Structure 1
């Protein structure tokens, strides 16, 4: 498989009416990595944007890297996951993500083919297991009990992985990976007997308020790349990451925006990054991060902002045996 482009266009929380144009603009700017998921409820519009650019000859399918995750169908999951408060960027890779209600081996292929049909594609470059936790299958994306806590399935993510490996063997996806796995879960997967295809990436929340130093080091030591979502972070103690004085000072020094600094921060850590935006000006600006370099002092200052501030905590799943955030990293 070709290497994952370092910069991608995130489509989470992008409204269907806006995301088609955002995808077109991103491809024109130079993005070749697109990150999407069924639960975002905008895959059809993402697909329209991709097909439009292919038809006009602006890009060829083989030059795009498309990522997706297996996801469910109801909007309830949106309220459980944090919204990036600032625009984000992603290139034109197409990863997709497998949602937690589809962890049964018998459901995985159908979830993938559904996304392929919606995106109007024959294959995905990368398919991700969105969380290591399986939920009760059915119509609800978030099946909950009378206490409002998630109803787990009896699935094991190792068995789910076997079904994802079958997608590679069938040619539906080029590679597979994971998202929101802690180091213990990733190690268990890598040590799985008869592992046919190893995860190529672990997509995790990462920004200067949550630097993920230990987890990134662990992943890279196992030759698993890291992809950062929510790269623009959020607020802590009334201070928003984008407004942090340290970041503002570094941005002024390089005559760049705070967003560009935060994207460049990840790139220099050898971490892929998928910010999101539907604003054409921001989409272009977020791609202009290859004409400068942060100094060693800049990087040290940014890493020093770590507050272990996790935004994507998914609290209704804390009862799950595979809840990933009980581990130190």
Structure 2
């Protein structure tokens, strides 16, 4: 089994760079699929209250037989809980569902700029962090304008910003802002819901390397420094997505893939989405 590289977050917490995403996995399938991912070697599981499967993720972590300290678990605050007291209660609910004493990473799922004050939300996140019940806190789907306002009005710098990112949406501006301020970038929808898998540029690189286009795309993310969450319900595909550590993309390969950027989203625009 190849060792997954880790990144060090801005508070010193180590995070596995390759994780297993549970978005759109039905609750009744989540325990089984998460156990399969852990069996394949994944040690970072990403869930959210919004996904409705936190309970099953927690069950899988407990049932895996792995030491709790060996599995990094991330969850996210729901969009209906941005008020300070609501955020604290929602975190309590997440912990009860997961059945864990401590969460590795807790994120604000969306900034919702038209619905409320995410700075107030972040103050609740800081309180959760100070309590020690979350080892790190961060945000998801935040644009530089949202992050700038947060940094001007907060004490704790987000450890992570989880955003949609793939070769058709390279997120150079968001990633550069994060790098400047010590905020790690995590990529959701890393293969653009499959849209990039037939791209002739990626296919050409994959053919040369004897790898799949998904493997090449995920390797591109890793070499950029992203934390990435491929999602699959198939154990065979889970294993393929994990098999990323016996090859390397050249600088030319990286440039060709990055040049595919179209600023094309598969999900909502964070500046307009209000849940």
Q: Provide the C-alpha distance between the structure 2 equivalents of 1:319 and 1:31, rounded to a whole number of angstroms.
A: 31
- TM-superposed deviation, 1:132: 0.9
SS at match of 1:294: coil
Give yes or no for contact 2:23–2:51 (8 Å, CA) kept in 1: yes
Q: Could you list the per-position Cα deviations for residues 166-204 of structure 1 after superposition, in whole angstroms to 9, with x for gaps in the alignment?
A: 111112211100011111111221222xx3321001000
Deviations 1:220-249 (A, max 9, x none): 1111100000001147xxxx3111111111
**TM-score (structure 2 length as normaliser):** 0.91
Unaligned runs of 5+ in 2: 1-11
2:197 is paired with a residue of what secondary structure?
Answer: helix
After TM superposition, the score normalised by the length of structure 1 is 0.77
Distance 1:212 1:171, change over 3 A: same
Q: Could you list the runs of 4 or more consecutive aligned residues of structure 1 that deviate by over 2 angstroms after TM superposition? A: 317-320
| Higher relative helix content | 2
Alignment of 1:1-150 (within 5 A): 1-54=12-65, 59-69=66-76, 98-133=77-112
Q: Which residue is equivalent to 1:318?
A: 272
- Tell me the residue number matched to 1:149: none
Instruction: Provide the residue aligned with 2:253 in structure 1.
Output: 298
Q: 1:258-293: CA deviations, max 9, x gaps? A: 111111111100111011112111111111101110
Deviation at residue 319 of structure 1 after TM alignment: 7.6
The unaligned stretches of length 5 or more in structure 1 are 70-97, 135-151, 324-329
Matched residue count: 264
Aligned partner (choices 155, 162, 180) of residue 123 of structure 2: 162
How much is the aligned-residue C-alpha RMSD, in angstroms? 1.8
CA distance in 2, matches of 1:182, 1:190: 12
Helix, strand or coil: the match of 2:224? Answer: coil
- 1:97-143 per-position Cα deviation (integer Å, ceiling 9, x unaligned): x1221000011111111111111111110000011117xxxxxxxxx
Name the counterpart of 1:190: 151
Counterpart CA distance in 1 for 2:273 and 2:111 is 13
Do the aligned residues in 1 keep the contact of 2:214 with 2:241 (CA within 8 Å)? yes
The aligned counterpart of 2:208 is: 253
CA contact (8 A) 1:131 1:181 kept: yes
**CA spacing shift, 1:213–1:61, aligned 2, 3 Å:** same
User: Where does residue 142 of structure 2 map in the other structure?
Assistant: 181
Q: How far off its partner does 1:18 sit?
A: 2.2
* Residue of structure 2 equivalent to 1:268: 223
2 CA distance for matches of 1:318 and 1:268? Answer: 31
